Amino acid sequence: MTEAAARRRGRGGGGAARRAERTAVSIETAKYIERNIPNFEVLNEEALEIIETNAETVLEEIGVNFVENPAALERWRQAGADVQGERVHIPRGLARELIKTAPGSFTQHARNPERSVEIGGRNLVLAPVYGPPFVRDMDGGRRYATMADFEKFVKLGYMSKWLHHSGGTVCEPTDVPVNKRHLDMLHAHMTLSDKPFMGSVTEPSRAQDSVDMAGLLFGKEFVQDNTVMTSLININSPMTFDDVMMGAMEVYAENNQACIVSPFIVGGAMAPVTVAGTLTQVMAEVLAGIAYNQLCRAGAPVIMGAFVTSIDMNSGAPTFGTPEAAHITYGAGQIARRLGLPYRSAGSFTGSKLPDAQAAYETSNSLNMGLLSGVNFMLHACGWLEGGLVSSFEKFVMDADQLGVLHHLAKGISMDENGQGMDAIREVGPGGHYLGCAHTQANFKSAFWRTNMLDYKPFEQWAEEGERDTMTLANLKMKQMLEQYQQPALDPGIAESLAAFVAEKKASMPDAFS
Amino acid sequence: MTEAAARRRGRGGGGAARRAERTAVSIETAKYIERNIPNFEVLNEEALEIIETNAETVLEEIGVNFVENPAALERWRQAGADVQGERVHIPRGLARELIKTAPGSFTQHARNPERSVEIGGRNLVLAPVYGPPFVRDMDGGRRYATMADFEKFVKLGYMSKWLHHSGGTVCEPTDVPVNKRHLDMLHAHMTLSDKPFMGSVTEPSRAQDSVDMAGLLFGKEFVQDNTVMTSLININSPMTFDDVMMGAMEVYAENNQACIVSPFIVGGAMAPVTVAGTLTQVMAEVLAGIAYNQLCRAGAPVIMGAFVTSIDMNSGAPTFGTPEAAHITYGAGQIARRLGLPYRSAGSFTGSKLPDAQAAYETSNSLNMGLLSGVNFMLHACGWLEGGLVSSFEKFVMDADQLGVLHHLAKGISMDENGQGMDAIREVGPGGHYLGCAHTQANFKSAFWRTNMLDYKPFEQWAEEGERDTMTLANLKMKQMLEQYQQPALDPGIAESLAAFVAEKKASMPDAFS
């Protein structure tokens, strides 16, 4: 609302202010990753067939529950499923047949067309952390997240070169009533950034508000013909599809907006404790969920999700960056490709309370496997802390820098004449030095990935500057980014209509805090 | 010497003391990794052929230098190379032919046969950091390494479950004269640990001392017929083989001991700034070095090494955990398999001054690629800090814990009936909970990798315990391990002869400090 008010004042200031807005400095954003490297495949064809056969058995024999959703049960009945109470038994092959209408790849449009992303194929789109009720930074410690925090994260996301997507609930703004939060959040994504974003899923009516606000931003007709939001629909694993999530998904599918249909699994609690068992359940759940999505609207864009962690069997705490999570992520990628669906998994996962070494080990394990497993949409790609309870300002910046590593890894190895570098080897010869040779001079600017925040200084200089660790450097970087932030230009008429929509909606409801 | 003295006293104490030594508690060490997952291949066959053709061109047209080593030049002449001064031009195909006698895999024996390792094939053997002149811990900060530090690192390596190898120069004991250091270092590896170890390479005479001491430990005949040391022979890149390293290698090869023949490359300085160019030079250097090794003794065990970092083009500092290093490591793995040689690369690399998030990001990037690139021998697998200038006590323990992740990743996915877990899915059903089911109970102890030091505690407990970060937890763990350390049993006669050898050798030379 503060931003919207500022914008209205800008408009009141007349044409000069408007022109200033339109010409505001645009921050560089890398294009989404187009992989030029293979995927890592941990399962062979025989293993994939076993998993698929078992998943079909789960759907047919055990079935899945669609809870408090008579319309969904009716849709399933019509499609040929055996519905017993809320339990839907899906005959072998039916879900596989129904998902055939789902596109293998789709464009999610951003209001700045240069920031639109293609989700699917060999691409990887990176989006920030989603969902934490707390934030943490070095200055204020750990505390409940507010709308002011939310806006800072959206600004940081806009400023982050390697982040293609503004995300959704980058943190839960707990100072805004729960029934009005989605309006302020969407408003922030739409006005403080020009990258693509996610819609609300916490009530079907809030999904509808998201569609309506997108209509104001993009034009109503554009939204009906194009995908402008990708939203997160979690499955209540094991094998339960609740009415709130399905209701939101119905709204999005009917409006041609994308959904990530995602099992949410802590291994050993919501799925079998073994990897192949978990993959079987993931495949069954995804088949049922995406088939239902296509029953709502054949051809609606959809992503196969897999949010899977392991569990510490001592404490029951979810664990991250583990080898079992890696196996599942690699395997689920193979399942997604088998089904011809875009794939969402991995992220900056960690159980650590601080953006320390544990956080970085676990995050790096997950980011690397995310790239190699063929993920197309990586939610939580930066900023996640403490098992998803906390959005960390410092870790957001640290992780976002590491996302550059993924971009360069994905490029693969150039084998052209310049890449082969034989002239350089000839020029330098045994015992020589390459720094000064022509080939090095011609290539050094682009040859190596360059961090924007890690420390490579000589020890003495580093010691003189106060022996700063990564968290401290990230804290400085984060503040610098927020200082340099400039709001992207937006048509003042659109800005005003969005602000008015939010104000009216909020005025029409009493506050609710749970 | 302290240890040896203690041992002699033990012997003086009679039979009871000897029996106590023999029954001393043995620490659990995991078997070396036997991969059940594929390697990640970033180059296609065409690219590999280009690199091989170019590498042969480098050897033939440009050649390599064997410096101050007339015997080596004569060996090359005899083998059919065109020798001009110190420059050896190797006709196309000759080096490839000469390396055919090198074994694809070999056993390095440990004095405890349970700790012997098989280097090559699909295996991965993990060894600690090598070479830093400084150490760092939270208690004493950064300081020159001493023999007391060295002994602590050997003890920590012995106590580390996921470390298969005791390594070599885990830090440089700068308080011991440079010409006597190798004796104390070998003595520590031989008596404080029963894992396999590395020999000295800093002078040919020190390599001979290493062989002689190994003869005392294993028996002279055993050493002549079996490999009991793997030692690190760095190539002076680009394409220069100096007399010290080659002299040491000659001693080892002639005694049937293993060498890692390893280009040492900071990309853009010692090799072309492009990945394919660097791979070409790596392949040429390795072909020349290993061919020369086989000229010294056909059939001697040998490892193809590739130590490659990129460079920060601003400061000239080497950089670690970068995407370019990953490309080279993946590509060099493919070259090693093409040549049928065991492969050494990757490690706990970082440029960070502290065991902080930067250190962990960079290390994790490198450890993951090390596993997936098919590395057979990973030197520096734990404890490396500050670009290799520092051995970190805390990071040693932190990294060593992460090596457990590699073990579990390498296992792959079990597809047997238990792995498929269909009974569990049937038992639990939609909306149920897996924690209590029979399948979970039967599998939970072995299903998930378990850290030995990372924090999974609830926030409140963690806060009450002082909000400790990973470095602090590692410091405690390190001290606990050193407290619990018990020296592995060693035959008192052998212990005495080793101590006597070291004492006599040291007494026979004046101290040298450079």
Over residues B154-166, the pLDDT tens digits come to 999 999 999 999 9
Written as one letter, the residue type at B76 is: W
Give residue B7's Cα distance to chain centre.
28
- Whether A324 contacts chain B with CB within 8 A: yes
**Predicted pLDDT of residue A1:** 34
- Cβ atoms A248, A207 nearer than 8 A: yes
Looking at the complex, does the CB of residue B62 fall below 8 Å from at least one CB of chain A?
yes
For residue B166, give the DSSP letter.
-
- Residue B456, chain A, CB below 8 Å: the answer is yes
A189, containing H or E segment: helix A181-192
Range of the domain at A185: 29-413+431-509
User: Per-residue confidence at B313, pLDDT binned at 50, 70, 90?
Assistant: confident
Closest CA to A105 of A328, A341, A372: A341
- Alpha-carbon distance B66 to nearest alpha carbon in chain A (angstroms): 10
A-to-B residue pairs, Cβ atoms closer than 8 angstroms: 397
What are residue B275's phi and psi, to 5 degrees? -65, -50
Structure confidence at residue B267 (pLDDT): 87
With a cut of 80, say whether residue B425 has pLDDT above it: yes
pLDDT, tens digit, 9 for 90 and up, residues A364-385: 999 999 999 999 999 999 999 9
pLDDT in tens, B413-422: 999 999 999 9
From first to last of the 514 residues of chain A, give the pLDDT tens digit. Answer: 344 333 333 333 445 545 545 445 557 899 999 999 999 999 999 999 999 999 999 999 999 999 999 999 999 999 999 999 999 999 999 999 999 999 999 999 999 999 999 999 999 999 999 999 999 999 999 999 999 999 999 999 999 999 999 999 999 999 999 999 999 999 999 999 999 999 999 999 999 999 999 999 999 999 999 999 999 999 999 999 999 999 999 999 999 999 999 999 998 899 999 999 999 999 999 999 999 999 999 999 999 999 999 888 778 889 999 999 999 999 999 999 999 999 999 999 999 999 999 999 999 999 999 999 999 999 999 999 999 999 999 999 999 999 999 999 999 999 999 999 999 999 999 999 999 999 999 998 888 999 999 999 999 999 999 999 999 999 999 999 999 999 999 999 999 999 999 999 999 999 987 7
User: A472 CB near a chain B CB, below 8 Å?
Assistant: no
The mean pLDDT value for B196-220 works out to 98
* A273–B331 CB contact, under 8 Å: no
Q: Would you say A92 and A56 are in contact if contact means Cβ atoms under 8 Å apart?
A: yes
Predicted local confidence at residue A514, as pLDDT: 75
Q: How confident is the model at residue B15 (pLDDT cuts 50, 70, 90)?
A: low
User: In chain A, which residues have their Cβ closer than 8 Å to the Cβ of B57?
Assistant: 422
Side-chain-side CA neighbours of residue B236 (13 Å): 14
pLDDT in the model for residue B14 = 46
B positions 343-382 inside 8 Å of A (CB)? 351-365, 368-369, 372
CB-CB contact of B290 with B262 (8 Å): no
A305 inside 8 A of chain B by CB = no
Which residue out of A40, A87, A274 would a mutagenesis test of the B interface target, given it has the greatest number of B Cβ atoms within 10 Å? A274
H/E run at residue B221: helix B220-225
Q: For chain B, how long is the longest CA-to-CA vector?
A: 79
**Judged by CB atoms within 8 Å, which residues 389-408 of A form the interface with B?**
389, 395, 398, 402, 405-408
* pLDDT of res. B27: 76
Task: Output the CA–CA distances (angstroms, integers) from residue B266 to A428, B236, B324, B325, in the order listed.
Answer: 15, 11, 11, 10
Residue type, position B13, single letter: G
Q: What DSSP state is assigned to residue A227? A: B
The mean pLDDT value of chain B amounts to 94
Cβ within 8 Å of residue B141, ≥6 positions away? none
- From the CA of A146, how many Å to the nearest CA of chain B? 20
Q: How many CB atoms lie within 10 A of CB A335?
A: 23
Phi and psi, residue B483, nearest 5°:
-65, -40
User: Looking at the complex, does the CB of residue A418 fall below 8 Å from at least one CB of chain B?
Assistant: yes
Tokens 């006698």 belong to which residue? B101
> What is d(CA B482, CA B45) in angstroms, rounded to the nearest whole number?
49
Residue among A308, A305, A321 nearest A127 (CA): A305
Separation of alpha carbons A463 and A458, rounded Å: 9
* pLDDT score of B312 more than 90: no
The number of angstroms, rounded, from the C-alpha of A512 to the middle of its chain's C-alpha atoms is 28
Judge contact between B1 and B498, C-beta under 8 A: no
pTM above 0.90, yes or no: yes
In terms of Cα–Cα distance, which of B311, B245, B331 is closest to A38?
B331
CA–CA distances in Å: residue B351 to residues A20, A152, B150, B188:
43, 30, 22, 28
Residues A260 and A336: beta-carbon distance below 8 Å: no
H-run or E-run covering B33: strand B33-34
End-to-end CA distance of chain B: 22
Please give the biggest Cα pair distance in chain A: 79
* Listed range (A142-151, A489-498, B224-233, B437-446) with the worst mean pLDDT: B437-446
Q: A312 in a domain, yes or no?
A: yes
Q: Residue A161: what are its φ and ψ, rounded to 5°?
A: -60, -40
Q: Please count the structural domains in chain A.
A: 1
Indicate the DSSP class of residue A267.
Answer: B
Using CA atoms in the order A72, A77, A83, A86, what is the torsion angle rounded to 10 degrees?
A: 10
Token couple for B135? 């150490």
Asked if the structure places residue B376 within a domain, the reply is yes
**What pLDDT score was predicted for residue B13?**
40
Q: Is residue A199 part of a domain?
A: yes
A232 with A198: CB under 8 angstroms? Answer: yes
Cβ within 8 Å, pair A322-B448: yes
C-alpha distance from residue B167 to each of B26, B69, B154, B171, B203 (Å): 19, 28, 8, 10, 18
Kindly list the residues from chain A whose CB atom is less than 8 angstroms away from the CB atom of residue B88: none
| Amino acid, single-letter form, for residue B513 | F
Alpha-carbon span A282 to B59, nearest angstrom: 53
Domain for residue B288, yes or no? yes
Q: Hey, which bits of A375-448 come out as E strands? A: 377-378, 384-385, 390-392
* Rounded alpha-carbon distances, angstroms, from residue A229 to A126, A215, B61: 14, 11, 59
Residues in Cβ contact with A15 at an 8 Å cutoff, skipping those fewer than 6 apart = none
> Contact A333/A303 with Cβ under 8 angstroms?
no
Give the number of other CB atoms < 10 A from CB of residue B317.
Answer: 17
Q: Could you tell me which residues are beta bridge partners of residue B259?
A: B231, B302
Give the DSSP H or E segment for B344.
strand B343-344
Q: Which residue is it, tokens 């690199």?
A: B51
DSSP state of A101: G
Q: Look at residue B244 and tell me whether its pLDDT is greater than 60.
A: yes
The answer to whether position A24 is within a domain reads no
CATH number at residue B247: 3.20.20.480
| Cβ atoms within 10 Å, residue A200 | 26
Check residue B324 and give left, alpha or beta (phi > 0: left; psi -120 to 50: alpha): alpha
Instruction: Extract the tokens encoding B8.
Output: 């002699």
Select the residue of B47, B361, B368 nearest A360 (Cβ to Cβ). B361
Helix residue ranges per DSSP H, B99-172: 147-159
Q: Determine the residue type at B221.
A: E
pLDDT of A17 reads: 47
DSSP B382: S
Please check whether residue B487 lies inside any domain of the structure: yes
Look up residue B397 and give its amino acid.
V
Residue A17 placed within a domain = no
The percentage of chain B sitting over the pLDDT mark of 70, rounded to a whole number, equals 95
pLDDT at A3: 40
Q: Cα separations (Å) of B455 from A112, A310, B51, B165?
A: 42, 15, 45, 27
Chain B (171-230) residues lying within 8 Å, Cβ to Cβ, of chain A: none
Judging by beta carbons within 10 Å of its beta carbon (0-12, 13-18, 19+), is residue A187 exposed, middle or buried? buried
Find out whether A323 and B409 touch, Cβ atoms under 8 Å.
yes
The C-alpha atoms of residue B471 and residue A83 are separated, in whole angstroms, by: 55
- Rg, chain B, Cα only: 24
Of A54, A508, A506, residue with least CA distance to A277? A54
Q: Assign B11 a pLDDT band (cuts: 50, 70, 90).
A: very low
Helix (H) or strand (E) holding A285: helix A275-296
Secondary structure letter of residue A197 according to DSSP: B
> Alpha helix locations (H) across B373-491?
393-410, 417-420, 422-428, 438-447, 459-464, 470-484
Using CB atoms within 10 Å of the CB of residue B462, give its burial: 0 to 12 exposed, 13 to 18 middle, 19+ buried. middle
Shortest distance, CA B36 to any CA of chain A (angstroms): 9
Rounded CA-CA distance A192/A482 in Å is 12
Residue from B469, B472, B477, B478 whose CB has the most chain A CBs within 10 Å, to mutate: B469
Residue B366 domain-assigned (yes or no): yes
ipTM of this complex prediction, to 2 decimal places: 0.94
At A15 the pLDDT is 53
Q: What is the pLDDT of residue A311?
A: 87
Count CA atoms within 13 Å of residue B163 on its CB side. 33
CA A220 to chain centre: 25
Element (H, E) at A79: helix A70-79
Task: Quote the CA–CA distance of B261 and B250 in Å, as a whole number.
Answer: 12
